[in-house]
A and B are shown apart, each in its own frame.
Chain A
Amino acid sequence: MDMIGAQLVNGLSYGMMLFVITCGLALVFGILGVLNLAHGSLYMIGAYVTYSITVNSAQNFWMALIIAPIVVAILAFIIEMTLLRATYHLGHLSQVLLTFGLAYIFHDIAAIIWGSNVLSVALPPSLAGTTVLFDQSFPTYRLVVIGIGFLLAAGLWYVQEKTRWGAIIRAGLSDKEMISALGVNIKLVFTVVFVIGGFLAGLGGVIAAPVLGLYPIMEFQTLILALVVLVIGGLGSISGTFTAAILIGLVETFSKYLVPELSLFFVYGLMAVVLVVKPNGLLGKKVAA
């Protein structure tokens, strides 16, 4: 029973990390129509910046929580302005290939700056301990991650459903031509959404760094999992991404615990089944590919 509780918390917090990382990807894919294969690289940069900030003092983790996402957001801004804005006429597939090339470039830039050793990020003392809940102790940080995930989900839901910006984004998801005809500066929307996507990727990097660690092909592994979450959840719905992230988090954690040899097999198998049964994802709307 104890193990199940611990695994449940592990799975939930893992799912929340996946949610933070994936919602940026989902937002960008939904609005820009570009499947950003460099999203994992932005996440990686966020994690490495966190490492650089906290390497001398674990207490700086709080600072990293603000600085790293902003650094990544600035990077995303530069990418959008220089590379994507100039290439919208090439079509979505070409842009996907572009971001794939970017992922290769970032991989080596990270290796040049931070080397290719396995690194880890230490937590500040206030987060590193354990918390007793229902007569059972859990790592505090895992609980904090779960809290952050729920907060972010609630915040995103509020922005998307209740604000003008959210309305523009929802409109952009269903009909891009129409909202630009209604006088919305669609180029500005693209840039803002891409920067938000970068910010969320960076935030995901900070949050996941102390748990998952840093190693050379981390961005590709995370990207793949984020794609799986994206597909299972379906496009254009925060709730879909949220559900799928928790599902994948739990499935991977429990299958790792029960049948370690086949854990990834389960995750990809789940994605294949969902794609075949419900090609638009669990809660997705119909979006032309």
Chain B
Amino acid sequence: MKKGIVLTAAVALLMGLAPFFLSLFHLNLFTEILILGIFSLSLNVLVGYTGMVSLGHAAFFGVGAYAAGIAAKEMSPNLLATLPIALIATIMVAAVIGMFCMKVSGFYFLMLTLAFSQMIYSFIHQSTDLTGGSNGLSGIPAPVAGGIDFSNPVLLFYFILGVFFSVYAGLSLLVHSPFGQVLVGIRENETRMRSMGYNTTRYKYASFIIAGALGGLAGSLYTSFNGFISPIDVYWTMSGSVLIMVIIGGAGTMAGPVLGAALIVILETIVSSYTHSWMMIIGIIFIIFVVFFPKGLTGIAQSIMHRMTRSKSGYKENHSKAVLKKNA
């Protein structure tokens, strides 16, 4: 446990110092990773911890992004206004969609979330007056807050880094809390949890809304960062991408989705400078992970760690324990 805290602190320090040694291009890339990291962390609450595979998470990203964008354009670019508006909008949308989606499970849940996200997509795509339609919403002013102008990419990076750490820490506490343990229980065996007296539907509903709200948060940060949002970011391929990030990184772990987001964003940047066939590469990588490394990057890391420790001392320890047991 102590090791983990030291490691986290080191990573946090390194991230905080990033603007001092990264070029502007790489800093922006890093910021994007953090935003998509929040997004995939939010989906992980559903997929990894509650065991509900959603293929419509882009809906919340889109609602958050468009709500923040429209609020910034029509009212004020102040983050203290845009963020809460985006959050309230996504929570409301998630509450409504969740009410329907809680009635089904398994593949049907996957398809129903997909259907709702496509409904939101077609709404955004077709209500041109409000959202700019297929041209997207452009000319969104740079965010400000308390006299700080966040058009400076370094300041925006620190703000997003702060949000990222708050989300990460908050979710870590959440999944280890009794509430989070109930979610894991639902993932493992919902019938059993229900027979133990838990109202599993209510827990799943809460988890759905938390995931949706954080997805919307990621979306609104994306708008502040990009200054532009288009319907493509709400299309179901976006839901697919974030699901890929979660699975490649390792569903049901805290670090996994973030690693997955980092891997996908970095790979996309490198690969797309060589070839247009980016989707093919990501498809192949995804298949390899699903078949050979179903636990994702974190699973690979764990098995390497496990092997290293076992070759040093673990084997002897286990061996002596086994002997002790035999004697006893």
Chain A residues engaging chain B, CB cutoff 8 angstroms:
35, 83, 86-87, 90, 92-94, 96-98, 100-105, 107-109, 111-112, 220, 224, 227-228, 230-231, 261-265, 268-269, 271-272, 275-276, 279, 288-289
Contact of A104 with B100 at beta-carbon distance under 8 Å, contacts A224-B118, A271-B115, A272-B115 already known? no
Q: Which of A87, A111, A271 contacts B276 (CB 8 A)?
A: A111
A83's closest neighbor in chain B, by CB? Answer: B287
In the assembled complex, the Cα of A131 lies from the Cα of B196 at a distance in Å of: 66
Sorted nearest first, the 10 A-B pairs with minimum C-beta distance are A289-B106, A104-B283, A108-B280, A264-B122, A105-B283, A101-B286, A101-B287, A268-B119, A108-B277, A101-B283
In the assembled complex, the Cα of A271 lies from the Cα of B111 at a distance in Å of: 9
User: Which residues from chain A contact B280 at a C-beta distance below 8 Å?
Assistant: 104-105, 107-109
Contact of A94 with B119 at beta-carbon distance under 8 Å, contacts A108-B277, A275-B100, A275-B112 already known? no
Instruction: Check: B315 CB closer than 8 A to any chain A CB.
Output: no
Contact of A104 with B111 at beta-carbon distance under 8 Å, contacts A268-B118, A275-B103, A275-B104 already known? no
User: Which residues from chain A contact B247 at a C-beta distance below 8 Å?
Assistant: 97
Instruction: Check: B71 CB closer than 8 A to any chain A CB.
Output: no
User: Which residues from chain B contact A264 at a C-beta distance below 8 Å?
Assistant: 118-119, 122, 126
In the assembled complex, the Cα of A271 lies from the Cα of B105 at a distance in Å of: 15
- Whether the Cβ atoms of A87 and B283 lie closer than 8 Å is no
User: Which residues from chain B contact A86 at a C-beta distance below 8 Å?
Assistant: 291
Q: Which of B122, B237, B287 contacts A220 (CB 8 A)?
A: B237
Contact of A276 with B103 at beta-carbon distance under 8 Å, contacts A105-B284, A107-B279 already known? yes
- Whether the Cβ atoms of B283 and A112 lie closer than 8 Å is no
A145 to chain B, nearest CB (A): 25
- Whether the Cβ atoms of B114 and A100 lie closer than 8 Å is no
User: Which residues from chain A contact B294 at a C-beta distance below 8 Å?
Assistant: 90, 94
Question: Dominant SS at the B interface?
Answer: helix
A118 to chain B, nearest CB (A): 15
User: Which residues from chain B contact A100 at a C-beta distance below 8 Å?
Assistant: 240, 243, 286
In the assembled complex, the Cα of A265 lies from the Cα of B294 at a distance in Å of: 36
- Chain B residues 37 to 79 lying within 8 A of chain A, measured CB to CB, are 53
User: Which residues from chain A contact B286 at a C-beta distance below 8 Å?
Assistant: 97, 100-101, 104
Instruction: Check: B165 CB closer than 8 A to any chain A CB.
Output: no
Contact of A289 with B105 at beta-carbon distance under 8 Å, contacts A101-B284, A112-B277 already known? yes
How many chain B residues sit at the interface, stated as a range, is 35 or more
Of A83, A109, A272, A279, most buried by chain B (CB within 10 Å of CB) is: A272
Question: Dominant SS at the A interface?
Answer: helix
Binary per-residue interface labels of chain B (125-136) against chain A in the complex, 1 for a CB within 8 Å, 0 otherwise: 011000000000
A289's closest neighbor in chain B, by CB? Answer: B106
Instruction: Check: B222 CB closer than 8 A to any chain A CB.
Output: no
Known interface pairs A227-B115, A265-B122, A272-B100; 20 further A-B residue pairs with C-beta atoms within 8 A, sorted by A's residue number: A90-B290, A94-B291, A100-B240, A101-B287, A102-B283, A102-B287, A104-B240, A104-B286, A105-B284, A108-B276, A111-B276, A231-B108, A264-B119, A268-B118, A268-B119, A275-B103, A275-B104, A276-B103, A279-B108, A289-B108
Contact of A227 with B237 at beta-carbon distance under 8 Å, contacts A101-B287, A289-B106 already known? no
- Whether the Cβ atoms of B111 and A231 lie closer than 8 Å is yes
- Whether the Cβ atoms of B277 and A272 lie closer than 8 Å is no
User: Which residues from chain A contact B53 at a C-beta distance below 8 Å?
Assistant: 93
Contact of A227 with B290 at beta-carbon distance under 8 Å, contacts A275-B103, A275-B104 already known? no
- Whether the Cβ atoms of B279 and A228 lie closer than 8 Å is no
User: Which residues from chain A contact B126 at a C-beta distance below 8 Å?
Assistant: 261-262, 264-265
- Whether the Cβ atoms of B118 and A108 lie closer than 8 Å is no
User: Which residues from chain B contact A107 at a C-beta distance below 8 Å?
Assistant: 279-280, 283
User: Which residues from chain B contact A90 at a C-beta distance below 8 Å?
Assistant: 290-291, 294
- Whether the Cβ atoms of B283 and A103 lie closer than 8 Å is yes
User: Which residues from chain B contact A268 at a C-beta distance below 8 Å?
Assistant: 115-116, 118-119, 122
B294 to chain A, nearest CB (A): 6
A230 to chain B, nearest CB (A): 8
What are 22 pairs between A and B in contact, CB < 8 Å? A96-B110, A97-B243, A98-B287, A104-B240, A105-B287, A108-B276, A108-B278, A111-B276, A112-B277, A224-B118, A227-B114, A262-B126, A264-B118, A268-B116, A272-B100, A272-B112, A272-B115, A272-B119, A275-B104, A275-B108, A275-B111, A275-B115
Of B100, B114, B236, B278, most buried by chain A (CB within 10 Å of CB) is: B114
User: Which residues from chain B contact A104 at a C-beta distance below 8 Å?
Assistant: 240, 279-280, 282-283, 286
In the assembled complex, the Cα of A284 lies from the Cα of B105 at a distance in Å of: 16
Contact of A98 with B108 at beta-carbon distance under 8 Å, contacts A264-B118, A276-B103 already known? no
In the assembled complex, the Cα of A87 lies from the Cα of B291 at a distance in Å of: 7
Binary per-residue interface labels of chain B (71-115) against chain A in the complex, 1 for a CB within 8 Å, 0 otherwise: 000000000000000000000000000001001111110111011
In the assembled complex, the Cα of A35 lies from the Cα of B114 at a distance in Å of: 13
Instruction: Check: B179 CB closer than 8 A to any chain A CB.
Output: no
User: Which residues from chain A contact B123 at a C-beta distance below 8 Å?
Assistant: 265
In the assembled complex, the Cα of A83 lies from the Cα of B106 at a distance in Å of: 23
- Whether the Cβ atoms of B277 and A35 lie closer than 8 Å is no
In the assembled complex, the Cα of A112 lies from the Cα of B276 at a distance in Å of: 9
Q: Which of B115, B237, B243, B287 contacts A228 (CB 8 A)?
A: B115
B122 to chain A, nearest CB (A): 4
In the assembled complex, the Cα of A124 lies from the Cα of B126 at a distance in Å of: 35
A92's closest neighbor in chain B, by CB? Answer: B107
A263's closest neighbor in chain B, by CB? Answer: B122
User: Which residues from chain B contact A83 at a C-beta distance below 8 Å?
Assistant: 287
Q: Which of B107, B122, B237, B277 contacts A111 (CB 8 A)?
A: B277
Of A268, A272, A288, most buried by chain B (CB within 10 Å of CB) is: A268
